[in-house]
Amino acid sequence: MLHRPFTRSIATLAAAAACALGAPAHAQFNAVAPTPSQVRPAVDQAYGALMAAPAIAALLEALKADHARSIEDLKLLTQIEAPPFKEQRRAEAFLARLKALGLDGRIDAEGNVIALRRGSGGGPKLLIAAHLDTVFPAGTDVTVKERDGKLYAPGIADDTRGLAVLLSWLKVLQDQRLQTVGDLLIAANVGEEELGNLRGIKRIFADHADIDGMVGLEPAPDGAITVLGTGSHRYEVTFKGPGGHSYIAFGQVPSAIHGLGRAIAKIAEVQTPSFPKTTFTVGTIGGGTSVNTISPDARMAIDIRSEQMDALLATEKQILATVDAAVAEENKRWGTSTLSASTRLIGDRPAGRTPVDSVIVEAAIRANTAFGRKSALIGGSTDANVPMALGIPAIVIGAGGKSGGFHSLGEWIDLTDAWQGAQSSLATVLGLVGVQGISPPLLPKRR
């Protein structure tokens, strides 16, 4: 069915989601759609069969029992630093754990760890992924510290917890010899954070054209389901001029910094739509030689985001036009043409959305219900942006546990009863790929 536009305001939905999740209405977890009140009968029947099956009960109990051991995996991986573009050591450690579980994995040309757990045949291929990289530079102290029932370390929640839960899932699936119908393509991918530009997940979808859907693991409140991918373009803008002495050359040459300042003032006046939510900011600036020099160079970095690509591109066009206008005005001010500006795209994340009435979303909702959790549909910028933009069903769900301080040195996670979130998320996956002798796969194969 066609996805109908939502008319409720983002603020109203965010408040509703916060209430449903028992969490503050944090920008990272804005609600973007009402949660459907019911799912299609096939989804309901599949989860009824799954939750009634002794083999699934044994599997989920094994996952609970593996919780304490999985925390050791979490600590081990967290303490292997993985800055953007330098994820190799953590990738190698993750691959070693995969091989210890009897899975034949590899590291691809982009640096992703990839493994395939084959199903019984005839089912869909579902990508399950968590990202290796963190935002923290090399040399950051990533020692895990325990305090007041919480574990503290940079990157411990985002997304090392996802990696550890992925390994725990695979361990119990292997130990219990549970046979899914569809294939599970396992990925610990690179390039999710900062200027990684989703390079890891882009490579996976370029190399594996037969993927039928994706479930990503990221920190999120219990019951949250990411169905919208916020797109972004990021630009580095560099202004260049001849420069000169602040007194002697005054009136003869334009200033790169003054040109940049004119551009920033114009950018600040750009109007964007409230729906789809579209934003921009000049995040960093720099340049100049000294206090008594007409600047020969200046630079800034601009972040532009939107829930829809057409709105993003329209805002981008306005912002880039301000740069040209600012250069022209600064040159005109001094009667010259020696100031110039160049732009370079340094960040490119596509926008996308998974319809709320799709099977993959309904499966996550029904799995949440089975575990007594309320669902809330949220948006964000994640690896799922890529398949969403390609029209491939994709969601991101939590791996269990409460967490906070994301992207800060004080990042933390509380793993009290976190196995419950791991169980619910695994149930989502099992419903989608099906379990031999228990339930057929819900996720359809793409043509």
Beta-bridge partners for 33? 377
Nearest to 32 by CA among 400, 431, 376, 386: 376
Encoding tokens for residue 227?
Answer: 């169905």
One-letter amino acid for residue 423 of the chain? Q
> Domain map of the chain by residue range?
10-228+351-433, 231-349
- What pTM was estimated for this model as a whole? 0.90
Crossing angle for the helix pair 41-52 and 419-433, nearest 10 degrees? 120
Show contacts of 4-7: CB within 8 Å, 24+ apart. 6/32, 6/33, 6/34
pLDDT at 9: 35
CATH T-level assignment (fold) for domain 10-228+351-433: Aminopeptidase (3.40.630)
Write out the two tokens for 60. Answer: 């989920």
207: how many CB neighbours lie within 10 A of its CB?
Answer: 13
Query: Could you tell me how far CA 285 lies from the centroid of its own chain?
Result: 26
pLDDT of the residue at 30? 66
Mean pLDDT by 10 residues, the chain (447 residues): 33 40 43 90 98 98 98 98 98 98 97 98 97 98 97 98 98 98 98 96 98 97 96 98 97 97 98 95 98 98 97 98 98 97 97 97 98 96 97 97 97 98 98 98 95
Fold (CATH) for 231-349 = Alpha-Beta Plaits (3.30.70)
For residue 141, what is the DSSP state?
A: -
Give the closest residue to 213 by CA, choosing from 191, 175, 182. Answer: 182
Angle between helices 419-433 and 161-175 (to 10 degrees): 60
Residue 412, classed as helix, strand or coil, is strand
